[in-house]
Amino acid sequence: MQKNSKRDFGSFHASNVQELLGLPEAEYQPPAFPIPVPRFTDCQLETGHSCRRKHFLLEEDCTFINHGAFGGVLREAMKSAQEWQMYVERQPLRFYDRELLPHLVYVTRRLAKFVCCDPTDLVLMINVTTAINSVVRGLDLQKGDIIYMLNVTYGAVKKLLQFVCESTGAVLQEVQLNFPVTSKDQVISMVEKTLSSGVRLAVFDHIPSNAPVILPLKEIISICKERGVPVLVDGAHALGALPLDLRALDPDYYVSNAHKWFCCPKGSAFLYVRKELKAQTRPLVISHGFGSGFNSEFMWAGLHDYSPFLAMHVNMNFWEDIGNKKIQQYMYTLCRESCDLLTSLWHTKLAAPMEMFGCMALVELPRQLYHSNTAATYSTGEAIQNQLYHQYNIEVPVKCIQGTLYIRLSCHIYNELAEYEKLGKCVLEMCAMKKLCSEGSETIGNIHSQDESCTA
């Protein structure tokens, strides 16, 4: 056993982490829990408002259909994180020096099982931004290397890729996906045409934030493999929103937030790295575990609040006990019904075929709401979003995509059709108001223009 970590975590060394993660299931003994961890085995799938009241903390009177932005925590998971925090302070030495690492190992093992990968290939991270930075900033990029991404890549990730390219002389290749998207095949053939072998890294969002079509990842990854291009998947919206089987997908790097659709407390995510690439993937923060193996290096990032990681057990219990399939079926069905309802009420279209969406979708807003003959701007969309919030207490984002405004719907288990009906009616009311004052001054304020990519 390697004992090169200076820190002695009681009887548990940073280097023990690797050993414990690698143990076969039959030989592994989980640590004892100092606090209760709820199960949901006797819960039926409760949905809509009653689910919201029981399992979420959202305010009663807000029509909250923007789960995609910053998630929304499961009440029981939040309680668990708070209980861990209280427990830590009763005897901080016992917790940080003796108990924390075995617990982090356990939650990593469980999460790895949940997303179907080897636990030694997965590390917990505070968010996707940090996880992607760890991968990208660790690449030894050389002048002329190419990084490939689509125009729908998350704004903050684009900035990171621009930064690493500018500072190393690498080249960023941004490929344009045009909207409305017509089919999955359109995306596949676009990647086929534009991705060349020799690219140093290709970055794809599993579900892009501004345009939440589920990308045909299996096919995209196989194109990358054929061309020998390493692929990093940004699955910020994936965990909880779709079944994740990393073994079947087989990406080189995969990151996901747990604090979005999986409803963990904020500050919980993971990074998966293919075995052969682990040695060259180092954490941004170097601390006690450095030199003790991939998992040990990432596990301890200095003293901070680890409770969001530990609370993940509650979310895994919830998804396992209620049923991954049942939860996702409810969300997808609600999304489809909401899209049908809104497109027929507004006489508009979706930004892509319904089968490409999961629990988020883009529905075109009626043109009467803005200038019908000119391309819409980000600020027009932002103003409509603000009006929906201030006038009707509806929290939903408006996305400006290639000159057209779309509502991005989010559908979680606590949502119900009545909320989308309300949105539909309010938008029609805004259209009627707009028509009334069409010859007069703008009903919508002139809000400062902002970069489209800034929205969550």
Provide the binding-site residues for ligand PLP, judged by CB under 6 A.
127-129, 154, 156-157, 205, 208-209, 234, 236-237, 257, 456
- Closest CB 159 distance from ligand PLP, rounded Å: 11
Strand partners, 148: 173, 202
Q: CA–CA separation, 189 vs 174, rounded Å?
A: 16
Name the residue nearer to ligand PLP (CB basis): 210 or 338: 210
Name the residue nearer to ligand PLP (CB basis): 5 or 315: 315
How far apart, in Å, do the first and last CA atoms of the chain sit? 44
Q: How far is CA 437 from CA 123, 295, 368, 375, 377, in A?
A: 56, 61, 12, 20, 20
Name the residue nearer to ligand PLP (CB basis): 88 or 233: 233
Contacts 24+ apart (CB under 8 A), 5-12: 5/288, 5/289, 5/290, 5/291, 5/292, 5/296, 6/288, 7/288, 7/300, 8/97, 9/96, 9/97, 9/98, 9/100, 9/101, 10/97, 10/98, 11/98, 12/98, 12/101, 12/102
Name the residue nearer to ligand PLP (CB basis): 14 or 131: 131
Name the residue nearer to ligand PLP (CB basis): 77 or 157: 157
- Closest CB 378 distance from ligand PLP, rounded Å: 17
Q: CA–CA separation, 316 vs 158, rounded Å?
A: 31
3-class SS letters over 115-138 = CCCCHHHEEEECCHHHHHHHHHHC
Name the residue nearer to ligand PLP (CB basis): 208 or 216: 208
**DSSP assignment of 34-48, as one string?**
SS-----TT-----H
Q: Which tokens sit at 263?
A: 């409803």
- Closest CB 70 distance from ligand PLP, rounded Å: 8
Identify the CA nearest to 356 among candidates 128, 175, 177: 177
Strand partners, 69: none
- Closest CB 127 distance from ligand PLP, rounded Å: 3
Strand partners, 234: 205, 255
User: Do 299 and 14 touch, CB atoms closer than 8 A?
Assistant: yes
- Closest CB 255 distance from ligand PLP, rounded Å: 8
- Closest CB 129 distance from ligand PLP, rounded Å: 3
- Closest CB 408 distance from ligand PLP, rounded Å: 11
Identify the CA nearest to 407 among candidates 448, 350, 453: 350
- Closest CB 323 distance from ligand PLP, rounded Å: 26
Name the residue nearer to ligand PLP (CB basis): 154 or 318: 154
Name the residue nearer to ligand PLP (CB basis): 129 or 404: 129
- Closest CB 350 distance from ligand PLP, rounded Å: 19
Name the residue nearer to ligand PLP (CB basis): 205 or 416: 205
Q: Which tokens sit at 200?
A: 């140093």
